[in-house]
Each structure stands twice: as C-alpha cells, then as structure tokens.
Amino acid sequence: MTKTLPRVTEVLDLLNKPLLIPWATGLGVDSMKEKTAEIVVASINKLLNEIKDMQLVKTEAMTEKLKIIRENFLSDNSKIAKEAKLQPEKIKNETADKGRRVHAAIEKFLQAKDGTQVEVDEDIAIPFRSFLDFWILNDIEVVETECAIWSEEGGGFKGTFDLSAYLKKDNKKILYLIDFKTGVRIYPLEASMQLAAYFYAWKQRTKFIPERAAIVRFDREKKIQAEFFELLEHEVYVYYKVFLNFVESWHLINEGIPY
C-alpha cells in the first residue's frame, strides 16, 4: 500500500486561522445588507411611483399595498439569509479561480520565448502587470518553474512551488526559491513554514544550492509594487523544525497512531 503524502498546504491547514471567522461573517452580513436594501428600495420606489400616478387613492388600498410589501420582504429575507451563508464559500471559490489564472498566466510567461506576448483576462491584468514589474526590477534568471518537491521527513510530505531563479541583489546573483501569492495579505507564520518546507525538500533533491526563500504577493485589486517576504537560510531551519511537527501531527490524525 502506497503511503499518502500530504501537500504542504494541507499540512498547514492544521494552523489556527482566527481571521477566517470574522472574514466569513463580514461577507455574509454585507451580502444580507445589500440584498435587503435592494428589496426595500425597489418596493418603496414602486409604491411611490404608484402614488405619483394616482393609482392608490384609497386608504385601504395603501394599507393593503404596505402589507404586501411587508410579506414579500419577510419571505425574501429568508432566502437572503440562505444566500448570505453561502457567500464566503462563493467568494473563496471565485478568489481561488482568479489566483489559479494568475499563476497560469505567469507560468505561460516563464515558459514562453523572450519577447512573446501573453494575453490575460482583464480581471487578472493588475496582478499580472505587477508580476512583470517584479520581473524587470529583479533581472530574473530562471532555473526551474513549477518545482515539484517531496520528502520522507516527519512522515513525508510533498508540494509544488512556482519558481527557482537567480535574482540580482546588490549587484550579486542570489538563488531564490519563490512562491507567488495573490491573497489579500501574507501571514508570516504560515508563509515561513511553507517556505521552509519547500526549501529543505527542494534542497534534498536538487543539484542547486538555494540561498534564500521568498513569497511574492501581487495584489488583485490595486496596481502596487509586489510585496516581498523572504527568509535567509539560517531562518529557514527553525521554521522547518516547527513544520515537521505539523507533518507528524497530520499523519497521526489521518492515519492513526501506529501500535
């Protein structure tokens, strides 16, 4: 029986992520507010138009119209609540899809011949342009793209990072292990453990000797300079030891304690 090797990102799902709860709640509340406002405003506007056109001339008719608005609102409000509960998952899926397409566009660029134009959808044009700025600014020399890694340490894990390349820093070429992100922020602990896992696993299987590891984040909404989060080799070691504890925990949770 082949042993299951979790992806690095699966292992990191064990991390407590308290910010996800208020984020999801906020999306649901915003969705309810927006939909509720649409219903109320539309109903009131319709009523005002009917009054303006003198279609409602009796008090009884006005009362009945308001009653209908109230009943429709209460009925629709239940539907709104259900939609609000689904909003975080919907946004998460849409965001993940956009992130995948940004990664695919970058990968296409990295594999293309020099001077080849890469066309991208308008909704991912901002992060892709930020990547191009990052590319030019750092005078990048590619070693490998879509780098697959694996290791038996801690019970075993696997994964893929985006790029190994030489970046020009202080007039020197430095070999970096790089992973691209398009999320709203970089979470330092999670990012450090992820980079450490990639760093040591890649180091075990490659002839190259990586010097540094970095996550480069391109904002999805605003054209700003890429955020660069890096670890030096001596910093990576500490986070790798922490990550291996999480790998062991993942195997215990998913495969049981061996007897």
- State the pLDDT at residue 205: 86
pLDDT higher than 80, residue 114: no
Together in a domain, 99 and 181? no
Domain end call among 107, 135, 160: 107
Check whether residue 169 and residue 88 sit in a common domain.
no
How many structural domains are present in the chain? 2
Using CB atoms within 10 Å of the CB of residue 41, give its burial: 0 to 12 exposed, 13 to 18 middle, 19+ buried.
exposed
Least confident of 78-92, 130-144, 165-179, 240-254: 78-92
133 & 221 share domain = yes
Residues 90 and 154 placed together within one structural domain of the fold = no
Q: Answer yes or no: do 103 and 122 share one domain.
A: no
Say if residue 126 is in the same domain as residue 154: yes
Which residues, in sequence order, are CB contacts of 257 under 8 Å at separation 6+? none
The answer to whether residue 182 is domain-embedded is yes
Q: Is the pLDDT of residue 85 over 90?
A: no
Rounded to two decimals, the pTM is 0.69
Of the ranges 102-116, 146-160, 178-192, which one carries the lowest mean pLDDT score?
102-116
Q: Give the mean model confidence (pLDDT) for residues 36-45.
A: 62
144 & 42 share domain: no
Give 121's pLDDT tier (boundaries 50, 70, 90).
Answer: confident
Minimum mean pLDDT range among 34-48, 136-150, 171-185: 34-48
The CATH number given to whatever domain includes residue 188 is: 3.40.1350.10
Q: Are residues 165 and 68 in the same domain?
A: no
- Structural domain span for residue 246: 118-255
pLDDT score for 34: 62
In degrees to the nearest 10, what's the CA dihedral of 132, 134, 140, 146? -70
DSSP code, position 102: H
Which ranges of 19-58 does DSSP label H, i.e. alpha helix?
20-52
Q: Which amino acid is at 193?
A: M
User: Does residue 162 register a pLDDT over 70?
Assistant: yes
Same domain, residue pair 218 and 134: yes
User: Does pLDDT of 11 surpass 80?
Assistant: yes
pLDDT digits (tens, 9 = 90+) for 150-159: 999 999 999 9
Q: Are residues 123 and 250 in the same domain?
A: yes
What integer pLDDT is reported at residue 111 of this predicted model? 83
pLDDT of residue 27: 47
Q: pLDDT at position 2, please? A: 53
Whether 259 has a pLDDT exceeding 60, the answer reads no
Same domain, 236 and 146: yes
Q: What is the pLDDT of residue 20?
A: 45
Query: Are residues 122 and 234 both part of a single domain?
Result: yes
Task: Give the separation between CA 84 and CA 89, rounded to whole angstroms.
Answer: 10
Does any domain span residue 80?
yes
Q: Which residue has the higher pLDDT, 44 or 174?
A: 174
**Tens digit of pLDDT for each residue in 94-103?**
667 788 888 8
CA distance linking residue 147 with residue 144, whole number of Å: 6
On whether the CB atoms of residues 87 and 33 are closer than 8 A, the answer is: no
